[in-house]
Structure 1
Amino acid sequence: MARKYRLGVTRKAVNAVVKALLARGIPVAGATGWLLTTRGRKSGADRTTPVNVVEVAGDRWLVSPYGTVGWVHNLRAGATARLWRGRTRETWEVEEADAATAGPVLRAYVRKIPVTAPFFDAKLTDPPEAFAAEADRHPVFRLARSRA
């Protein structure tokens, strides 16, 4: 059974360090680490969190390995993702993937960022269909056309 994500003191501290490094343009987690800023669906305030972007089949994808977290709700409500790292800024519209589309993306994500593997029931060696079965617990968004 997959582990459940808990945002504890340690994770908050790690996120703060990662955010500071990414804000200065220092790559974290290879070249996949970005800061994602979304507009709060209730407050309207900007919310920023570190994320990883994975490229699969020529498209760029945002994956929520820890489930339906705050930024997922915000993207569903606003459909605009602002990604930044250092001086690089990108604004994207997002489209949530269906389970069949999400399966190969989730598999690629876990292979690229294996620290997230304990949060999935599917194993690294499983076929994409095993990951597709978990798509409802791990939302996947395709970064569509750039608006900036």
Structure 2
Amino acid sequence: MMARAYKLGPLRKTVNAVIGGLLSQGLPVAGKTGFLLTTKGRKSGLDRTTPVNVVETGGERWLVSPYGIVGWVHNLRADGVARLRRGSTTETWEVEEADATTAAPVLRHYVRLLPVTAPFFDAKRGDPPEAFAAEADRHPVFRLARSGA
């Protein structure tokens, strides 16, 4: 069975708006992994905000795109700065995109931690990291590093 394709339809827009509202009020969503990610639009230069999940593994924090190469991925690739907010707390991070070998265990951890995203992956929860490495080009992973900004 092939992974499901992501489509930002009316239902997903509504869910994102509800989750975004909860996160903006400081309420935890998906445990403590939910944040509002703000990036600078690569074409418009305007701020773009979307709910995301940040996972911790290997002593580091990671931003994963479970739904593929979406707008915020393009924006991070162009600008390299992510602002993560929950409630009144905002953190600024510099990001570095991980290669497939580095991304594999992060993707595996992500699918195990947030199983709602599993249908968007060909690799399954119990698969070895190599199966997730094969998906790294479709599910970008970014390491978060504290920014001096």
What range is the shorter-chain TM-score in? over 0.9
Which secondary structure does the structure 2 equivalent of 1:92 belong to?
A: strand
Q: Which aligned segments of 4 or more residues in structure 1 are displaced greater than 3 angstroms?
A: none
Count of aligned positions: 148
User: What 5-or-longer segments of structure 1 have no aligned partner?
Assistant: none
Map 1:1-16 to 2 at 5 A: 1-16=2-17
TM-score (norm 2): 0.98
Which secondary structure does the structure 2 equivalent of 1:142 belong to?
A: strand
Which secondary structure does the structure 2 equivalent of 1:30 belong to?
A: coil
Cα deviation per residue 1:103-147 (whole Å; 9 max; x = unaligned)?
A: 000000000000000000000000111000000000000001233
**CA–CA separation in structure 2 for the residues paired with 1:129 and 1:9:** 35
Which residue does the alignment assign to 2:114? 113
Q: Which amino acid aligns with 1:17?
A: V
Measured after TM superposition, the shift of residue 87 of structure 1 is 1.1
Which residue does the alignment assign to 1:144? 145
User: What 5-or-longer segments of structure 2 have no aligned partner?
Assistant: none
Cα deviation per residue 1:36-94 (whole Å; 9 max; x = unaligned)?
A: 00000000000000000000100000000000000000000000000000011100000
TM-score (norm 1): 0.98
Cα deviation per residue 1:16-38 (whole Å; 9 max; x = unaligned)?
A: 00000000001111100000000
Q: Which amino acid aligns with 2:128?
A: P
Q: Which amino acid aligns with 2:4?
A: R
Map 1:1-148 to 2 at 5 A: 1-148=2-149
